[in-house]
Structure formats: structure tokens, C-alpha cells
Structure 1
Amino acid sequence: MILSFFLQILVTGLALAQLHPKEPAIYQRLPSLRERAHIQDQWRDERISTIPSLLKKYNIDAWLMSQREHAEDTIWWSTKHATDYDAHRRTVVLFHANKSSLAGHVNPLMWVDNTGQVWPELRATLESYNPKRILLNTDRDIAFAAGLHAGELFVLQEELGHRWMSKTVNEPMLAVEYVATKMSGQLAYYKKLQETVWAMLEEGFSQRVIHPGVTTTKDVEWWFLEKMQEQNVTTWNHPRISVLTEESYPGWEGSDDIIREGDILHIDFGITAMGLNTDTQHMAYVLRTSDDILETDAPESLKEGMRKSNRMQDIVLENMKVGLSGNEVLRVCLEQMKREGIEGQIFSHPIGDWGHDAGSVIGFLNLPEFVPVLGELPILPNTYYSVELYAYHFISERNETIRFRQEENVYYVEELNSWQFVRGRQERFHLIDGRKQQQQGFTVQNFS
């Protein structure tokens, strides 16, 4: 099995060549905030124009949403203008498939109201249109199709009555597909975001930021947050940095350790800008330069562990076929890993409007072989995914089995019917060399 694994690595390497970018990443300058808003609104208009075809696909005549300020429907965040931060008063939105003059040419119809006048106008609109199937976001299991708050449902029941409420239906895939589908113009900016992520990783996981024996993992977490502010981007989750050992396991809080020579570091973080989110996990190694040991690279045993997790990435992308469910993809991947003698876990997810976006998941940490509901959804095209996973690998000189955790974002290329990395993937460790303590642009601080 070991021979089979390394033969497979050789074949894959010849087919895919090096996927680790050859040149260092450069911080990418995004447009001004004003120009970003203009671009985002263009994307919004393009996306909303697809809703009538989605209504037809799922045999829906009207899609009704009602929300109040601070209690927005989940879908609202993917339909709003860039300069909207909350729904105003009560905002009622009706997407419709009616092309007759009775409903006018506006789609969606929208009311912003705090007097109750919306209800007779909505009833009159429904009367003129007479939809047979009205979609409400009331799904029990899928968040993107479950955004109608209980209070708003009660109000709709009172104001619309049995006639119209009896025509309401639940069709979660319409909301999922709407949120999951990305516009072609978004990719160029998503690539800029991903290169900025890599630039942060290459700087943050270097001797310019980390002073072995002094800097802590928490120091570096806060450095990443400060760097995001400098780049005029935000985040959807706090950067989590850990020193990897057999006992430690990167969780939602990372670890709080002094970083020392010989440590394996891990980060899980994402940035947010222009309504897009990234999610990346990389590893770094702190070179040993004391006690007559002068390392210039990570030990070969660590490189073997990364090659193993890289192979798992290949397996996921080879099997992640559009139309298959996440559970079908997971099953095939686990079978292939077993044949190749690889132990590990896959927990990949869609990404885009949200860090954990709409669509099918391929495994969960606590559900490694089958995920109810979300794992049964189909893999959709024209979307982005985070290929998130880890491989177990035994490090003999440490007498430890380490989880080699990696995560990279991919996008779907329709012409090739395949997935491509947005920037590339990590195939070699970020190296911290204590002999080059230059501390360029950063002074270790105590953020406690």
C-alpha cells in the first residue's frame, strides 16, 4: 500500500505539476469602497435577474420574504445593495414569474413599511396574479431556506389568511442554488483576495513576525487581524493558530503557546471583502538553529505528511463531480484513500457569500462518513468550495502521529467540467528562521 501511495503521488505530480505558486504572493489592492459598492451592485442585479428562471425550474410562481430590521431573512444578505446594512422597518419582497401587465415589470416587488399598509397592497397583488405555489423560507434543516422568522410567519398567517397560506410551499434548493451560484465577474476579485491571503501567510509565518522563544500563537493571531485592517478587509472568523502535536488539536480557539524552534504551526482563517469570503489552512515550520542543529528546510518526514494531505486534495477534486451528492463524493474518496493506504478525514464545504456557504457538504468533523440533509444535497456548478481535510502521518523522530491539516479554495470551470485552485495550494512549509531576526514592520506586543 505504501508503494501504491507513492506511485500515485508520482503519477499525480506528473499530471498536475507543481501547484504551489512559484512566485511570492503580493498584497492586492482592491478598488475604493465606493467603486466596490458599484461593482457589488452590478453583481447583485445580475444574480437577481436569474431568479425568474429558478422559479420556473422549481415550479414556483412567487417567492415571498418578510423581514424586519435586525431580523433579516438569510436570503436578504444575498439580495441587498452593497450600502444596505439592515432591512428597513418591515421589508416585504415578492419575486414572481408573472410577465403580465397586471404585476408590472418590476421584479421583485418590494414594500418598506411600518404602518401595516403593505398587507392590503400585497393581498391585491396576489389577487391580480393568483399564484398557485408561493415559496416561503421555512425549511426545518437548511439555514439558507429557513430565514423566515417565527414572528413574521405569524403575521403572514393573520394577514394573508387561509386562501394564500394554503398555497405556500417549501422548496429549499431554490434558495440554495441562488446563493451558491457565483457570477463570472466575481472570480477576478476572488483571486485577488486569495493572493492577499497568501501574502499574509507568507509574512505572518516568517521571522519578520515570529521570534522563536518570545512570540506566542496569540500574538500572531492578533497580527493577522491588524494586517487585515491595513488591507481594508475584514474577517468572518477569528484567526486560529496552534502548535501541532499529537495531543493538541486545532479547535475554534487555537492554542496559547510560546512558539519555539522545531514547532509545527497551523492556521485556520479567512478574509472578507466585496461580499466574498475565503477560508484557508496552512502549516509552517520553525527551523532549528540552536544546539549545533542548523536546519535550512523542514524535515523530510514532515514533507511526507504534507504530500499525503496534498494527495487527499487530489482525490477530492478527482471525485467531486457536479450532480453527485456530498455523501456520494465522500464515500468514493474514503474508499480510494483506503486503497492507497491513507488515513485522514475530509470535511469540505461551499464558500462564497458566507464562509460556510449554501450547498452540499462533503463530511463533517463529527460526521466523518455520512452527513444527513446537507450531505445529501447535490454538488452544484458555478460555485466555490473550500477543500478542507487532514491526513494522519507518523513522525518517527517525534514518535507522534500528526494531523496535517490543509484547506484551499477552488472554483468550478464549466468548460473543463472540473475544479481549479483559486491561487494554488500549499506544497511546502512556510519556514521561520530564527537566524534572520529582522522584525520588519512588526514589534512583538502583549495583546492580553
Structure 2
Amino acid sequence: MSRTKLLLPALLLAPTLAAATPAMPTLLAPRERPAVENRILEARLETLLPALMAETNLDMWLVLSREYAEDPVYFTLVPQPSFAARRTTLLVFHRKPDGTVERLAVNRYPLGAPYSAAWAGGDLDEQWQALGKLIAERDPKRIGVNVSRDWAIADGLSQGLRERLLAVLPEGYAQRLVSAEDLVVRWTETRTADELPHHAQAMAVARAVVAEAFSNQVITPGKTTTDDVSWYIRNRFEALGLPVWFHPDVNRQRAGDECGRDSTFCGSEGLIERGDVLHTDVGFCYLKLCTDTQEMGYVLREGETQVPASLQAALATGNRWQDLLTGHFVAGRSGDAILAATRAAADAEGIPSSTYSHPLGFFGHAAGPTIGMWDDQDGGTPGGEWPLHPRTAYAIEGNVRAPVDGWGDTWVQVKLEQGGYFDGETLRYPAGRQTQWHVVR
């Protein structure tokens, strides 16, 4: 099987300055990716979905979509390559008495495996009537539909499609419709063993590209701008066939900035000069699995041979904050409870910090336990009550603030975000985490 080998260029840094960054992994060539995605999908549908439908007590799950108005979970359920729910595609998942799940597609263009075609034709009214007949024949007691007040990912059923559904349901069946939000969240947040190596590769790519960007390969102090670096990162991902889910952010901090102990956000854009602290936030998806990564860099001043001690201490404090956060990852504990425990632990150690971590998976900002928001450190936001489950992935995201020697009243904000996997007992970083500064000479 042919693959595209992507090698990390030399960073031209002394060993004591090199960031602890993984080498660029070998990725599947774009043409080879759909087959892998489809194997993963079939295994998820065969083994994971029946367990989750039983867990959430649903007899049937309907995912109804129209072209260009697809349900958010539609592309997590259909084989690749797929770019739209052509015309109207109606997916039906029926949990049978033996616990297995029947997978049916009611649409103009049959999807093929792993679905059975329950109807095929060109008349839209007949298509909906076929759906109504299919439901009546199976007589499910609890029918999950994707409507939700709090979870955008679980709110994909449009008003128009809901009206058409109600029109074809047998009498009395409308009362059997319930929100499928718990199933949607569990489906999207749960990672399988087949997915983990690929997700780890994606996280490693993110870190390796940041290492390239925050090096002399890309940055010439006094000439390169933060926007130049941002576009380098984006072009690099796109050249690897990795779609970004937001434009990379690159900013700088320096003495004289308005940044203090209690600042919410520190950083500005513009020309990169010697002595600047650099930060980037990047995210892309590979094999449907998304990343979200933030790391820090430093531009050496003339005559400097290493990162100033106060900045090294600030990054170490950031790593300590990460440990405090992940040390409170306990299965069944809510996002709000983890947030409160982390804040209390950081305060006890005198670490000015903010915690705003979130799940990773089919979406960069995925559903699952919300562990703080950058603009709300008190909890109570949607998702904060959701419990931590095993086999889930997270962006361990937040920041610490620290004074810097020679910066006067200006503090530095160390903003970190690394992909982590929770196995039910501990959280680990499949691609490692930043423990040393990226350095531009």
C-alpha cells in the first residue's frame, strides 16, 4: 500500500533548545483514506451503536437530511466519499429484540454497505410514505429524533423535515418521538480502538507543523509577520490534504503589552521581533477526527543562547496546571465538577489560570463534558453537567499568567492546548505535550 512520507525538516536548534515535538508521521494518501474511514464506520455501527442505543433506551433513531442542509451527524454515519445528502436521505436505525441494529436507508440514491436500501425511487412523497410504512411495520416504542435545546450537534432535524415526518407517522406515533441528544453525544464523543492510532497521528502532525512554523525555517525576525506564519500553517495543512476547521491564529506578546495577572486574553498581531513570545492555535481533521492545538514559541534576542529562565518557569507552570486539571479526570464526574476542582487546586498553589477544555472527535469543538469556558470560569454552561466517560478524547485547553524578568508590569500568558485521551482511569497525551519552548534564533 503506497503512502506519502512526510518528513519533519531540521529546525537548526541546539539540543537544549529543541521543543519536545514528535516527528512528522506517515499519513495515508488521500485516495487511501476513504477505505479506512469506511472500515472504522462499519465497526462503529456494528459494535458501538447497538450498545449506545441500549444505553439511551431508544428503539429507533432517525437521522433525516436534505442536500446542503445535512444533519450535523450525517457525515459521521455515511460511507465515504460523500459530499451531500443527495436530494433527501433518510437514515433509520432500528434496535431489534436480539440487540442488533438494523441499518436502513430511504433515499433516491442507495448508499450501499453498511446500509440496506429500504426504498429507492424519484418521487419525494412516495419516499416519505415509505418511511412511514417502515416505522409502522417495526412498531418502535421510543423513536429518537435529533432535536435539542443545548446541543447544536444533536439539533439537526429542521422544522420542514419534522413536519413531513409527522405527516407520515401512524396515528399516535408522534407521542413516541423523543430527543436523541444523549445518543448523539455518546456517538460523537466515543472513540474506538481503531480510531486511536489515526487520531494520535493527527495530533502529532499538528505539533510537528507548529514546530516548523515557530522556527527559522519560516520566521526571520524583523521581516516575518504573524499573518505570514498563520498562512504558512494553513497552506501546510492543506498541502497534506488536511482540511482546517478554523483559520490558524498566530499572535505575539512582548514587554509593554497590556497583560497582567488577571488578563483574559494577551497577544497582538504584526511584525515579529526579537524578544517576542509567540502563540498559535490550529485545528484540522484527518479521517474525520479533528485536532485542536495551541503551543508557544520564543524569538531569541541578540546574544541570547537560551529562553529566559522566567519564561521557562512560566511554561513549567502551564504544565503543572495541565497536571492539576487531568488529575481530576474521574469517570462519572461532571465537567463543572472537574472545573471547580481544578480552580481550587490552582488557587491553592498560587497559579493564576483559566480552564476551558472540551471534547475532541468528529468535531473540533465536540459534544461532551464542557470543562469551563474562556469567558465563564464559574461553570453552569451547557455541557457542564455532562459526565466524563471512558474512551473519550479532549483538548486540554487553558492558560496561566506569570511575571517575566525585564518586562516590568507586563505578564506573559502561556496558552496551551494538547490532545488527550481518557481511557477511564487516566488521561494521556498520544502525541505528547509541549514541555519546552519552540525557539527562533
Q: Same fold (TM over 0.5)?
A: yes
Match in the other structure for 1:93: 91
In structure 2, the partner of 1:108 is: 103
Cα distance between partner residues in 1 of 2:141 and 2:312:
60
Q: Distance in 2 between matches of 1:353 and 1:177?
A: 12
Contact residue 66 and residue 152 of structure 1 kept, 8 A: yes
- In the alignment, structure 1 segments of 5+ residues that lack a partner are 1-19, 434-448
User: What amino acid does structure 1 have at the position aligned with 2:373?
Assistant: F
Q: Distance in 1 between matches of 2:131 and 2:175?
A: 16
Q: How does 1:46-125 map to 2 (within 5 A)?
A: 46-49=43-46, 50-99=48-97, 107-113=102-108, 115=123, 116-125=125-134
- Alignment of 1:362 onto 2:371: yes
Aligned to 1:333, which of 342, 346, 358? Answer: 342
Task: Return the offset for 1:29.
Answer: 2.4
Partner of 2:114: none
Q: Of 24, 31, 34, which residue of structure 2 is paired with 1:37?
A: 34
The answer (yes or no) to whether the contact 2:369–2:385 under 8 Å persists in 1 is yes
Shift of 1:396: 3.9
SS of the residue aligned with 2:354? Answer: strand
Residue 411 of structure 2 aligns to a residue whose secondary structure is: strand
Query: Residues 127 and 234 of structure 1: is their aligned pair in 2 closer, same or farther, counting only changes over 3 Å?
Result: closer
- 1:152-202 per-residue CA deviation (whole Å, 9 max, x = no partner) reads 112112222652211101142111001111121211122222222222122
1:362-421, Cα deviation, whole Å (9 max, x unpaired): 00011112132211111121111000010111224102122211010001234xx11101
Asked if 1:305 corresponds to 2:314, the answer is: yes
What is the number of equivalent residue pairs in this alignment?
403
Which residue does the alignment assign to 2:301?
A: 288
Where do residues 149-164 of structure 1 align in structure 2 (5 Å cutoff)? 149-160=158-169, 162-164=171-173
Cα deviation per residue 1:26-65 (whole Å; 9 max; x = unaligned)? 2222122232111100111111122222222222111112
Higher helix share: 1
Aligned residue number for residue 189 of structure 1:
198
Gaps of 5+ in 2: 1-16, 109-121
Looking at structure 2, the residues matched to 133 and 234 of structure 1 have their Cα atoms a distance apart, in angstroms, of 37
Q: Quick one: distance in 2 between partners of 1:202 and 1:175? A: 35
3-state SS of 1:303 partner: helix
Cα separation, partners in 2 of 1:382 and 1:221, compared to 1, 3 Å: same
Aligned to 2:73, the other structure's residue is in SS state helix
2 CA distance for matches of 1:22 and 1:382? 29
Cα distance change, pair 214–74 in 1 and its aligned pair in 2 (3 A): same
TM-score normalised to the size of structure 2? 0.87
Say which of 371, 377, 399 aligns to 2:380.
371
Separation in structure 2 between the aligned mates of residue 384 and residue 228 of structure 1, nearest angstrom = 21
CA contact (8 A) 1:52 1:96 kept: no
Q: How far apart, in 2, do the equivalents of 1:421 and 1:53 lie?
A: 27
1:106 Cα deviation (Å)? 7.5
TM-superposed CA distance for 1:24, in Å, is 5.2
**Counterpart Cα distance in 1 of 2:337 and 2:137:** 45
Whether contact under 8 Å (1:242, 1:250) holds in the other structure is no
Question: How far off its partner does 1:129 sit?
Answer: 1.5
The 2-side partners of 1:166 and 1:118 are apart by 22
Q: Establish whether residue 421 from structure 1 lines up as the match of residue 419 from structure 2.
A: no
Question: TM-score, normalised on structure 1?
Answer: 0.86
Q: 1:95 to 1:24 in 2, by over 3 A?
A: closer
Question: What is the CA-CA distance between 1:23 and the residue it aligns to?
Answer: 6.5
Larger deviation: 48-57 or 72-81? 48-57
**Partner Cα separation in structure 2 for residue 262 and residue 317 of structure 1:** 32
> What do you get for the CA RMSD once the two structures are aligned?
2.1
